[in-house]
């Protein structure tokens, strides 16, 4: 090798390293780095973090953030937003508890029937909300932001009016014990449910026509329509799936809390958007991977748990969440510029 060639090789080495780092960051390295740093830092600062009971708590909270974050991912990948996610969770929590309370009177000793009935009705409410959101967005070409913001206001108003801000008790004991607090192979039941939803989303995105259509509609709705994709139907399915997943979250949260509460989910819209953005979902649509959103949800759950362990005031926790979201948006913008250059 000549001296000139050797000099060029040495000179190009830093640029090769930089390109490898850029590829790593673009392919999900940001959220992986965030997660590793958060886990290591929390474990060093607060030894209680690695306590088994605390880790179980982190896993439960992770699952209850993962499912609605996947719902948000589906809508954002299709080019929309769903600010009503938290309100659907609250409304279906109230519906779940109310059905159990009333059903236990009509079907005494038949808790399984009552639990399944509450699940079906809660999912029906979530699907209906998704249907209305999609209808307004697709049929009337309204802004997803404004439509789901209005839906959030409507649902929160209904839930608060129905409950007067008072939790609804009467939730089946077996539901709380087996779902909210239950474990299988040493892991919480809600975590297994969350992982099953994650697996289904990964399969849908990678191996089904629906997944490809959602990406196509989010990338360019006009081009997707010209390619033969039914954009209206795709948006309908995306929003309905989001409503179903949000309803499932409300159902599971009721098992965790032991009551139906109209006040839960107040910050869930922000949290799910943060998880989606940190996980690499584009605000412009057409880009998003379920596994990276899951890592982002785990990162946010670790951060929330760390702040609780060191007794950070809840007001400052919201501030930290907003700061993390802003940083993630800035990093996404920088990577997009590098990708286009």
Q: Do the domain assignments include residue 341? A: no
Given a cut of 90, whether residue 93 has pLDDT beyond it is yes
- The stretch 230-248 carries a mean pLDDT of 94
4 domain residue, yes or no: no
For residues 236 and 127, the answer to whether their CB atoms sit within 8 Å is: no
pLDDT grade for 8, boundaries at 50, 70 and 90: very low
Lowest-confidence pick of 18-22, 30-34, 228-232: 18-22
Q: Is residue 22 part of a domain?
A: no
CB 70 within 8 Å of CB 245: yes
**pLDDT class of 133 with cuts at 50, 70, 90:** very high
Structural domain count of the chain: 1
Residue 14 lies in a domain: no
Please report whether residue 2 resides in a domain.
no
In a domain, 79, yes or no: yes
Instruction: Please tell me the predicted confidence (pLDDT) of residue 335.
Output: 67
Confidence at residue 96, expressed as pLDDT on a 0 to 100 scale = 94
The pLDDT of 215-226, averaged and rounded, is: 88
| Percentages (nearest 5) of helix, strand, coil residues in the chain | 80, 0, 20
Question: In sequence order, which residues have a C-beta less than 8 Å from that of residue 3 and are 6 or more positions away?
Answer: none
Residue-number span of the structural domain to which 118 is assigned: 52-290
Is residue 218 situated within a structural domain? yes
Confidence tier at 11 by pLDDT (50, 70, 90): very low
Q: Please say if the pLDDT value at position 10 is more than 50.
A: no
Q: How far apart, in whole angstroms, are the C-alpha atoms of residue 83 and residue 150? A: 9
- Cβ(104)–Cβ(231) below 8 Å: no
Residue 18: pLDDT over 70 = no
The mean pLDDT value for 264-277 works out to 88
Helical (H) or strand (E) element with 184: strand 183-184
Does 62 map to a domain? yes
Q: Tokens for 240?
A: 């309905």
Please give the mean pLDDT across all residues of the chain: 86
């Amino acid at each position: 090798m000549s001296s000139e060639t050797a000099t060029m090789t040495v000179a190009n080495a830093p640029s090769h390293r930089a390109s490898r780092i850029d590829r790593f960051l673009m392919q999900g390295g940001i959220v992986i780095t965030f997660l590793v740093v958060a886990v290591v830092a929390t474990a060093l600062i607060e030894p209680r973090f690695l306590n088994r009971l605390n880790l179980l708590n982190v896993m439960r909270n992770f699952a209850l953030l993962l499912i609605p974050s996947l719902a948000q991912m589906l809508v954002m990948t299709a080019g929309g937003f769903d600010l009503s996610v938290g309100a659907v969770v609250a409304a279906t929590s109230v519906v779940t508890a109310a059905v159990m309370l009333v059903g236990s009177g009509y079907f005494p000793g038949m808790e399984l029937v009552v639990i399944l009935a509450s699940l079906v009705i809660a999912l029906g409410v979530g699907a209906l909300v998704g249907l209305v959101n999609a209808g307004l967005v697709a049929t009337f070409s309204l802004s997803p932001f404004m439509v789901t913001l209005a839906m959030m206001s409507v649902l929160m108003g209904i839930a608060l009016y129905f409950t007067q801000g008072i939790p609804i008790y009467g939730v089946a004991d077996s539901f709380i014990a087996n779902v909210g607090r239950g474990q299988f192979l040493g892991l919480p039941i809600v975590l297994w449910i969350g992982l099953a939803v994650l697996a289904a989303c990964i399969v849908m995105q990678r191996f089904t026509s629906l997944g490809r259509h959602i990406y196509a509609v989010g990338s360019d709705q006009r081009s997707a329509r010209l390619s033969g994709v039914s954009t209206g139907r795709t948006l309908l399915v995306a929003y309905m799936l989001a409503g179903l997943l949000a309803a499932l979250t409300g159902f599971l949260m009721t098992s965790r809390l032991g009551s139906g509460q109209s006040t839960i989910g107040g910050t869930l819209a922000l949290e799910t958007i943060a998880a989606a953005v940190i996980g690499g979902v584009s605000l412009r649509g057409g880009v998003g991977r379920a596994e990276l959103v899951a890592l982002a949800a785990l990162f946010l759950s670790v951060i929330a748990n760390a702040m609780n362990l060191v007794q950070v005031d809840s007001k400052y926790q919201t501030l930290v969440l907003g700061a993390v979201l802003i940083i993630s948006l800035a990093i996404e913008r920088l990577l997009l510029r590098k990708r286009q250059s």
